[in-house]
A and B are shown apart, each in its own frame.
Chain A
């Protein structure tokens, strides 16, 4: 094919397109709503939520996933543009806050209670539920991301996994009875890392262009 002909052909396919940002925002919103509905149907808010909200540890548990979600969303929207670079600071805020909470918890809690707090009531349920609630945003974002042009597809996929995990974890935190930052830093992080790993594998395969 002659390049001139190719150009003429491409120009004829010149229908208006929606900007990537809009495509991503729509997908993110859909994923969020589906996850919230699943959460309401299957889990629901923990009965003592109002009382638990007196405890700053509950806030840490809810807010750090939201920070992860926001940071990862910013990073994804940069990584899906060919010239885009993700700022590391976008992803570092949530681990920093959580790390600080862990230190405070270790100071406040007698050493004998550390392992109880870490193991918590239901670590397995947490490990299963966060990826489960992350699934809808993950699929929606991954699908939308195929419209993008990441020069590092695996990294973009991993960050999509983190964004989805942030969404799943923020919801699950409203149900989860374990409030200790030791628990959150262990099991929530494990779930988020698993999603990042799945995202990297999926990105490597699905986000090449």
Chain B
């Protein structure tokens, strides 16, 4: 097979959609270098922090739209269609027209791991616009790396309530980011 990662990614995403969080994390970690590389290739001239912003927006979109993948379809075209949409969006917002050719995705070598340039960058900046409870939860889990149970204990909420609020918070984050771009 031309793309050895296809089967691996498909397997991980299939497990993830069935509720396997560990496999889902592996999936997101596995695709991130390719996404980053892709954004860097397309984004000559914009800074590393901006690139990482686009990568993060793409990851968020992949997460919120993961149910649009059909298990019998290949993962890569689906994944890269989302990335392309997000990249074009980001560039439109930055006042530049870009076209993203699917051929660009064929040779996406993983980018070398780098220091993450987005310390308290863009996604963090919009957290303040969430409702206070969701903001607390997104901060605890996303910025401080707390777990669901730990966050629940800290805020006096059940794990289920934390999950619901986290999900709502992530949807809202994506909407806020989108509005920021428009």
Do A and B truly interact?
yes
Cβ–Cβ contact B166 & A13, under 8 A: yes
Residues of the B chain whose Cβ atoms lie less than 8 Å from the Cβ of A83: 73, 77-78, 80-81
**Is A1 within 8 A of B142, CB to CB?**
yes
- Residue of B with least CB distance to A6: B56
**Size band of the interface chain B makes with A:** 35 or more
Return the chain A residue nearest B102 by Cβ: A83
CB under 8 Å from chain B, chain A span 6-41: 6-21, 23
CB distance from B27 to the nearest CB of A (A): 9
A2 to chain B minimum Cβ distance, whole angstroms, is: 5
- B25 within 8 Å of A (CB atoms): yes
Chain A residues with Cβ below 8 Å from B70 are: 19, 21, 81
Q: Say if the beta carbon of A4 comes within 8 Å of chain B.
A: yes
Whether A81 touches B21, Cβ cut-off 8 Å, given contacts A8-B145, A209-B174, is no
Contact assessment for A17 and B17 in the assembled complex, using a CB-CB cutoff below 8 Å: yes
Judge whether B136 is part of the interface by a CB distance below 8 angstroms: no
Q: Is the interface of B mostly helix, strand, loop or mixed?
A: helix
Q: Which of B122-145 contact A (CB under 8 A)?
A: 123-124, 138, 141-143, 145
Q: Min CB distance, A9 to chain B, in Å?
A: 4
Contact yes or no, B85 A151, CB < 8 A: yes
Contact status A6-B121, CB under 8 Å: no
Q: Say yes or no: A16 contacts B17, CB within 8 Å.
A: yes
Q: At the interface, yes or no: A99 with Cβ under 8 Å from chain B?
A: no
Return chain B residues, CB-CB under 8 Å to A115: none
Is A88 close to B, CB under 8 A?
no
Q: Which residue of B lies closest to A149 (CB)?
A: B65
- Residues B25 and A1 in contact, CB atoms below 8 Å apart: no
Instruction: Report if A8-B25 is in contact (Cβ < 8 Å); known contacts: A1-B143, A81-B68.
Output: yes
Number of chain A residues close to chain B: CB under 8 A:
32
Neighbouring A residues of B28 by C-beta, 8 Å = 7, 10-11
Chain B min CB distance to A145 (Å): 11
Contact indicator B25/A16 (Cβ below 8 Å): no
**A9 to B81, Cβ gap below 8 A?**
no
A105 within 8 A of B: no
Which of B24, B77, B142 is A14 in contact with, Cβ under 8 Å? B24
- Note all chain A residues with C-beta closer than 8 A to B63: 10, 13
In Å, the complex CA distance between A16 and B24 comes to: 11
Q: Which residue of B lies closest to A17 (CB)?
A: B67
Kindly list chain A residues whose C-beta atoms are within 8 Å of the C-beta of B166: 9, 12-13
Question: Which A residues form the contact surface with B (CB < 8 A)?
Answer: 1-21, 23, 80-83, 147-149, 151, 208-209
A-B pairs with lowest CB-CB distance, top 10: A11-B25, A82-B81, A83-B81, A149-B65, A17-B67, A14-B21, A9-B142, A16-B19, A10-B63, A83-B77
A-B pairs with beta carbons under 8 Å apart, 14 shown:
A2-B119, A6-B60, A12-B166, A13-B170, A14-B25, A15-B19, A15-B167, A17-B67, A80-B68, A83-B77, A83-B81, A148-B68, A151-B84, A209-B61
